[in-house]
């Protein structure tokens, strides 16, 4: 049984955890203690690892959307738990002390064997700050700590780990992490067909994607925070007040564009979703669009339009985050720059452009999407030329989207 206690020593508090001291193999110099602690407490003394490796292996900065996803996962169902441990390392600058009294004057930790074969570690949380590094699980820990209630988190704590070992553990843990293979998930559910619907519902409520069961489109349709909430035109949209307007392929193609431009989002689909959320929150926010009003903007709900706008924003972001000029990943600001870019794109475009059906049809081709881009750019030129004044009468006539002609073909 893992326990935790606090003791006051000479006007300072020390904290104790009891767990299992693991020597995983004979002769190993690296030891770790496994115990359970309150997430809110652990974030008070542990921080993200500051080791800097190459661009592909550096620990990501804490991303708000990621830890909010963890918090949302827990709030989605009382049965949602994360049994995976958070891996933390005490730096080699934190030595083992002889007694708890020694902790009054210097940073360190004390190990004591207990009667039941367990090991108790004691340290001053204030003194080890800046030397207790989260190797794996920083977003899990942060999200769990931000809940309104206390959550227990399994901790794997390395003791006095040299920097080179920390780097090795970081690379090893992150390179060995894999998602559950689709085939394994399908085999599992094939044996429990009756739970498929309930599982899909629970996964989407927690914004978790799993191929064939809880797809990104499920999340986009069912997540109340999604700009496309209740809007996706497909069989899984079972809301009584659903507005079946947005083709699922428009969203899938938009996500593909994000992943192509920013390969780092391939690892965690929630990152690509965060970028897409930011883009379309900004666009819909410009016109106050909700599921109840979206039908009034038929041009904006077209597959070709959604894909075109997403791709235009992504191309601009790709240029902004070109590694030749920037070291930041697209998620450096939780994807919010995508929202700013999208807002700049639609700024000044009158609602009428999206409300009055375009004359040109069959726009879901490369030529059609190019025509939509042309229309947006030409309209923005007209807006700029008006210098903040009213648009000229019959501005639509200057856009080929409103001109009569045959349907476009590739």
Kindly give the confidence (pLDDT) of every residue in the chain, 410 residues in length, as a single tens digit, with 9 standing for 90 and above: 444 555 554 446 889 999 999 988 888 788 899 999 999 999 999 988 655 443 333 345 677 888 888 999 899 889 999 999 999 999 989 999 988 988 888 899 999 999 888 999 999 999 999 899 998 899 999 999 999 999 999 999 999 888 777 777 776 676 544 444 444 444 444 444 444 555 566 666 666 555 544 578 888 998 899 999 999 998 788 899 999 999 999 999 999 999 999 888 887 788 889 999 999 999 999 999 999 999 999 999 999 999 999 999 999 999 988 888 888 877 777 778 999 999 999 999 999 999 999 999 889 999 999 999 999 999 999 999 988 788 888 899 999 999 876 455 54
And the tokens for 6? 């606090």
CA dist., res. 306 & res. 259, Å (int): 16
Nearest alpha-carbon partner for 125 in 7, 35, 31: 7
Alpha-carbon span 314 to 307, nearest angstrom: 10
The pLDDT value given to residue 340: 95
Locate all alpha helices (DSSP H) within 262-296, ordered by sequence.
Answer: 269-287
The CA–CA distances, whole Å, from 82 to 141, 148, 367 equal 10, 17, 48
- If we measure between CA atoms, which residue out of 216, 212, 183 comes closest to residue 199? 212
Q: Which two tokens stand for residue 213?
A: 């069961």
Backbone φ and ψ of 210, nearest 5°: -145, 120
Cα of first residue to Cα of last residue in the chain, in angstroms, is: 68
Distances 261 to 225, 265, 323 between C-alpha atoms, Å:
24, 9, 12
Strands (E), 264-371: none
Structure tokens at 174: 């992150």
CB-based burial label for 52 (10 Å; 0-12, 13-18, 19+)? exposed
Candidates 277, 238, 226, 229; CA nearest to 254 is 277
Q: Which of 241, 237, 356 is nearest to 291 (CA)?
A: 241
List helix spans (H) across 206-247: 216-222
Contacts of 285 (CB under 8 A, 6+ apart): 343
Q: Please give the C-alpha separations between residue 12 and each of 18, 123, 379, in angstroms, as whole numbers.
A: 20, 11, 66
Q: What would the two tokens of residue 410 be?
A: 């590739």
Q: What are the residues whose beta carbons fall under 8 Å from the beta carbon of 351, sequence distance 6 or more?
A: 287, 297
DSSP state of 397: G
Q: What is the pLDDT of residues 13-45, one digit of tens each?
A: 889 999 999 988 888 788 899 999 999 999 999
What's the confidence (pLDDT) of residue 285? 97
Q: Is 282 left (phi over 0), alpha (psi -120 to 50) or beta?
A: alpha
| pLDDT on residue 25 | 85
Task: Report how far Cα 268 is from the mean position of its chain's Cα atoms.
Answer: 7
Q: Three-class SS of residue 214?
A: strand
Phi, psi of 158 (to 5 degrees): -75, 145
Closest CA relative to residue 59, chosen from 194, 161, 236, 177: 177
Are 391 and 383 within 8 A, CB to CB? yes
What integer pLDDT is reported at residue 302 of this predicted model? 97
Q: Measured on CA atoms in the order 54, 56, 57, 61, is the torsion positive or negative?
A: positive
Q: Which residues pair with 3 in a beta bridge?
A: 18
As a whole number of angstroms, the distance between CA 374 and CA 401 comes to: 9
Q: How far apart are CA 271 and CA 261, in angstroms?
A: 13
């Amino acid at each position: 049984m893992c326990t935790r206690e606090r003791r006051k020593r000479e006007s300072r508090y020390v904290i104790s955890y009891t767990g299992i001291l693991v020597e995983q193999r004979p002769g190993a110099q690296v030891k770790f203690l496994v115990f359970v602690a309150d997430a809110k407490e652990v974030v008070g003394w542990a921080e993200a690892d500051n080791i800097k490796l190459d661009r592909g292996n550096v620990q990501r900065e804490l991303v708000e959307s990621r830890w909010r996803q963890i918090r949302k996962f827990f709030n989605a169902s009382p049965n949602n738990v994360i049994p995976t441990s958070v891996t933390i390392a005490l730096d080699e600058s934190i030595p083992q002390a002889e007694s708890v009294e020694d902790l009054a004057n210097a940073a360190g930790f004390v190990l004591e064997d207990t009667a039941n074969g367990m090991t108790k570690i004691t340290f001053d949380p204030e003194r080890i700050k800046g030397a207790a590094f989260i190797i794996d699980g920083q977003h899990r820990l942060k999200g769990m700590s931000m809940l309104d209630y206390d959550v227990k988190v399994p901790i794997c704590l390395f003791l006095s780990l040299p920097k080179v070992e920390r780097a090795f553990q970081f690379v090893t843990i992150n390179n060995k992490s894999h998602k559950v293979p689709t085939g394994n998930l399908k085999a599992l559910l094939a044996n429990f067909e009756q739970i498929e619907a309930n599982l899909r519902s629970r996964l989407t409520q927690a914004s978790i994607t799993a191929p064939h069961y809880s797809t990104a489109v499920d999340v986009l349709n069912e997540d109340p925070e999604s700009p496309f909430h209740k809007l996706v035109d497909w069989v899984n949209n079972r809301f009584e007040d659903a507005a079946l307007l947005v083709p699922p392929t428009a969203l899938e193609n938009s996500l593909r564009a994000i992943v192509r431009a920013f390969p780092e989002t391939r690892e965690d689909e929630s990152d690509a979703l965060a970028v897409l959320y930011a883009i379309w929150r900004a666009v819909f926010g410009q016109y106050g669009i909700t599921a109840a009003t979206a039908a009034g903007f038929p041009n904006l709900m077209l597959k070709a339009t959604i894909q075109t706008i997403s791709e235009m924003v992504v191309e601009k972001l790709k240029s902004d985050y070109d590694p030749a000029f920037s070291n930041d990943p697209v998620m450096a600001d939780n994807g919010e720059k995508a929202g700013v870019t999208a807002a700049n794109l639609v700024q000044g475009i009158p609602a009428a452009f999206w409300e009055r059906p375009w004359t040109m049809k069959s726009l879901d081709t490369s030529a059609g999407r190019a025509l939509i881009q042309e229309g947006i750019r030409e309209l923005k030129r007209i807006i700029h030329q008006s210098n903040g004044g009213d648009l000229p009468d019959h501005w639509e006539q200057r856009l080929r989207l409103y001109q009569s002609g045959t349907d476009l073909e590739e």
